[in-house]
A and B are shown apart, each in its own frame.
Chain A
Amino acid sequence: MKYTYYPGCSLHSTAEEYNASSKQVLEKLGIQLEELKDWNCCGATSAHSTSDYLAHALPLRNLVLAEKQDNDVLVPCAACYNLLKTAEHHMRCGGEGSEELNLDMQEIMGAQYQGNIAVRHVVDVFAQEEISAKIAGLLAKPLAGLKVVPYYGCLLTRPAKVVSFEDNAEQPQTLDRLLGVLGAENIRWSHKTECCGGSFSISQPDLVLTLTKKLVDAAQYAGADAIVTACPLCQANLDTRQHEAGGGPGTKVPVFYITELIGLAIGAGRSGDWLKKHLIDPVPLLRSLNLLAAS
């Protein structure tokens, strides 16, 4: 199994631990990766808030490049995944202006998007029966006693018709099932798909503060000791805005990437390097449950 890997900007800066844990876990699972050559930023919220054209054209350049590398595109960042998937959908469904846009790509890049490759999110791939079974087979340290709520947020689930790989996007299950495979205690809660404020972390920190407080309160109310996500915006907002340095209330609920938890459970890669990037240190919790790899 081989994919073209699209890290996106966050995974090369603020979410480096997501990048490292994704690569190391995928490698241990025998999934080959080749990074997309000369990839550009997908444009994120700023592009589609400003210009329809940019919102489709910036991700489309990546899809055109990816077709040259022949494999489906694998994306860990939920925001990049959402934008790339939306562009793919726009082109495949012949959305307004899509033909013209493809002609522009021809002019700019000397190639068009043919629709020969698809965009996949890492959680979608981990949730495939074959890969889940592989994870179960590699389990070295089941996450027994780790009470964690699965947090899906917006970008993996909405708009459901375009991006979701769940049976019911209002009640997503893939992260829940993965937590089960890892032997963690998957806690039911009320805020699985609520919004964390996404890209407002810098421009409107007070709004993000309000939303993250609601999320952390809900997680604690449900009895969770940790939160797991597959989105760098969710992780950053929850990790920074409950920390005093981010103006938060000082609660200390660690926020993991799903790849970090898989990595801990199957003993892939250098987990210490990922965990030390968190503002809310997850090590005390993991140590209290005896879940840290002996190193």
Chain B
Amino acid sequence: MVSTGKSIAPSFSFLKQLEDKSGQPVSRCYQCKKCTGGCPMSFAMDFNPNQVVRLVQLGQQERLLKSRTIWVCACCKTCADRCPNGIDISAVNDALKDMAAEQNVALGDTMVPAFHESFLASIQRHGRIYEAGMLLGFKLKTKAYTQDMGLGIEFVKKGKLKFLPEKISQVKEIKQIFEKAKAKEGSR
């Protein structure tokens, strides 16, 4: 993390809000950095896991919502199982991702959110993942057409990609679940 040299005024309201939303006792962190030591993704992060926690404590909302870290956290839960204070940083990151999407900030990564969107769209439509359709949706969103072309061809040769979706009979139940999820988000 680059120091700006400027002093920052901590905001406790953001800390409170994030603790409520994520269910994580962020205030307890004493910066032992055990989380960062075991984090497989720290090499690709702009803020290390311990820094995420510190920035939450200091109310640095904007820096967090625009960070790449929250998107490249693999949710591997290594930090959660090792933190002496029982803090699950992936849950903190999930809450931050949710806020970033809600507040329409410039996202610190575009590929991961595009993937999640295509993935969920596939579930909503069929009740199951239809890989070929999901991949097409992802490519259209990200324009990364050539990425993994060779691999796609191998998969087709091996019969690992199906060309027809499997659809469950009660897709309407899945649609209702999605509607409820949306309503819950609106009411927060």
Question: Measured between C-beta atoms, what is the minimum distance from B93 to chain A in Å?
Answer: 9
A231-246: CB near B (< 8 Å → 1, else 0) gives 0000000001001111
Write out, one digit per residue, whether chain B residues 127-163 have a CB within 8 A of any chain A CB (1) or not (0).
Answer: 1110100010010000000011011011100111110
Q: Is B63 positioned at the interface, with any CB of A under 8 Å from its CB?
A: no
CA distance A54 to B74 in the complex (A): 18
Q: Is the CB of B154 within 8 A of A202?
A: no
Stretch binding the partner chain, chosen from A34-42, A117-125, A135-143: A34-42
CB distance from A31 to the nearest CB of B (A): 25
Q: Does B44 contact A (CB under 8 A)?
A: yes
- A204 adjacent to B77 (CB under 8 Å): no
Known contacts A195-B76, A279-B154; decide if A50 and B116 are in contact (CB<8 Å): yes
Known: A13-B162, A50-B120. A202 touches B135 (CB 8 A): yes
Q: Is A210 an interface residue (CB 8 A)?
A: yes
Contacting pair A160 B150 (CB below 8 A): no
For chains A and B in complex, what number of residue pairs have CB atoms within 8 angstroms? 165
- Size class of the contact patch on chain B: 35 or more
A188 at the interface (CB under 8 A from B): no
CB-CB contacts below 8 Å: A51-88 with B: 51-54, 57-58, 61
Mark A43-54 against chain B: 1 for CB-CB distance below 8 A, else 0: 111111111111
On whether A158 and B150 interact (CB within 8 A), knowing A46-B120, A54-B178, A277-B159, the answer reads no
**Docked-complex contact A57 and B128, CB < 8 angstroms:** no
A203 touches B112 (CB 8 A): yes
B116/A49 in contact, CB under 8 A: yes
B43-56 CB mask vs A (1 if < 8 Å, else 0) is: 11000000000000
Question: What CA separation (Å) do A204 and B80 show in the bound complex?
Answer: 23
User: Is chain B's binding surface mostly helix, strand, loop or mixed?
Assistant: helix
Rounded to whole angstroms, the CA-CA distance of A199 and B79 in the bound complex is 18
A12 within 8 A of B: yes
| B169 on the A face (CB < 8 A) | yes
A195 to chain B, nearest CB (A): 4
B180 touches A245 (CB 8 A): no
- The answer to whether B138 and A202 have CB atoms under 8 Å apart is yes
One of B43, B129, B169, B180 near A57 (C-beta < 8 A)? B180
* Pairs A-B, 6 closest by C-beta atoms: A203-B115, A158-B77, A195-B76, A46-B119, A9-B129, A245-B150
Contact sample, A vs B, 28 pairs, CB 8 Å cutoff:
A9-B131, A13-B161, A16-B160, A40-B123, A40-B127, A40-B128, A40-B168, A43-B123, A46-B120, A47-B120, A48-B94, A49-B97, A50-B101, A52-B94, A53-B181, A154-B77, A154-B78, A159-B80, A194-B40, A195-B74, A197-B74, A198-B75, A202-B148, A204-B44, A244-B150, A247-B148, A277-B158, A277-B160
